[in-house]
Structure 1
């Protein structure tokens, strides 16, 4: 009987009848198997190197990563966002919203006052031009801005209060309304005021309750001398 390199006895003197190896060949070294399955279990409190989830076994229950395999190579989020941003097509300039702010500047206008006096407006004889009227600036914000003179007894508290000093008696308590437009501009509505609302050098006042679009630099005249200039920045 012949003996193969693995120690099997065989009646065939060329190849082992048990394992098929050549008689007289070199023995094959077999690597030792793990002592037990417990050798593959992660230590208590271990976390997945791929997603950070707690490990209860060799394979992560969240992402399936093998804890015995090398950790995956991660790409910084900033780099990913930079690549996405670089690959994204540019936004057309005409579609980029323009951040604008509007301001209403209130002052006394002598030329307008003289025109009102020349037309002999209501109670013209009892009105005098104020000797001092500093500019007042009102940032425009929200959907609408009321213009008038405060009257607590009537519960009227306009956003642009022209009560003074100096007080323009030709301004109605609730004279006009500025309305914000979807494109960021403003329009004005005369609220059927006693003395009307004039835009720039137009000969006729606005029709009551009909919105009128305004542009940067437009001048709104109300009362006996009040000029409101709208500026966009």
Structure 2
């Protein structure tokens, strides 16, 4: 019997995918998974909405995602990736597979929203219009994210203990790779075919870091070539330059910023020279 190690109802899509549809943890009882989830670097934020949360809830669905109905505590749904500031997708939207009730919503190429949706989160700051959007994309293209495995981070996570710590092994080989930051919204997480979620920085592996959620964090471009990072409430949290990130609170990140997530993953932001 498949089950979430955090006690959530994984849902039909989660069982089919092998991961909890609420928190992204690997399910137990699924052949080939083992239900591994590394210890959190800080107290994991609750995926359930809090009455005192200041984040806006979806219109008509207090505390629930406008696209898939999953509990949300901030702007981005950790389950399907929908931006709660945008208009909810309808059954006639080609980005929503028939019969899913909006559960397959994804952004188009380059992080753009579908027709009828509001402007992407993070496009403010005095820049508006098609020309300004093109300038922002040009600035974003100067940046890249370097993804690699960090043994020191892994050792710190394992030292904290946890029920699954003994089963999480550091990968014997993890190729270092660079991912261009093309667009104004860069999602970080794991590919989910059942949720139709394809993050721009895909950490599905191999090797796969079991502590990374489907939508773990989002990088948002700002004016003047700046970036901020938002963790929408990942199961195991995010650390930026050695400090845990509070869920749904934007954190500025710049050239050389070190982003740790999961059991061993390190993402370093680097800015190249503009041409």
Scaled by the length of structure 1, the TM-score of the pair is 0.55
Please point out which of 169, 172, 180 is paired with 1:128.
169
Aligned-pair CA distance for 1:123: 2.0
Aligned to 1:84: none
Aligned-pair CA distance for 1:229: 0.1
Aligned-pair CA distance for 1:183: 1.2
Aligned to 1:197: 238
1:226 and 2:265 aligned: yes
Distance 1:170 1:123 in 2: 11
Aligned to 1:213: 252
Q: What root-mean-square deviation, in Å, do the aligned CA atoms of Structure 1 and Structure 2 show?
A: 1.8
- Corresponding residue pairs, total: 135
Q: Secondary structure at the match of 1:152?
A: coil
Aligned-pair CA distance for 1:122: 5.8
Distance 1:215 1:159 in 2: 18
1:112 and 2:153 aligned: yes
Q: Secondary structure at the match of 2:179?
A: strand
Unaligned runs of 5+ in 1: 1-97
Unaligned runs of 5+ in 2: 1-137
Q: Give CA-to-partner distance per residue, 1:168-209, whole Å, 9 cap, x none.
A: 01000110000001111211000100000001222xx11111
Q: Secondary structure at the match of 1:117?
A: helix
Q: Give CA-to-partner distance per residue, 1:42-76, whole Å, 9 cap, x none.
A: xxxxxxxxxxxxxxxxxxxxxxxxxxxxxxxxxxx
Distance 1:125 1:140 in 2: 35
Aligned to 2:182: 141
Change (3 A) 1:175 1:113: same
Aligned to 1:186: 227
Query: Which 4+ runs in 1 deviate beyond 6 A?
Result: none
1:56-135 aligned at under 5 Å gives the runs 101-121=142-162, 123-135=164-176
Please point out which of 129, 150, 154 is paired with 2:191.
150
Distance 1:158 1:121 in 2: 28
Q: Secondary structure at the match of 1:191?
A: coil
Scaled by the length of structure 2, the TM-score of the pair is 0.47
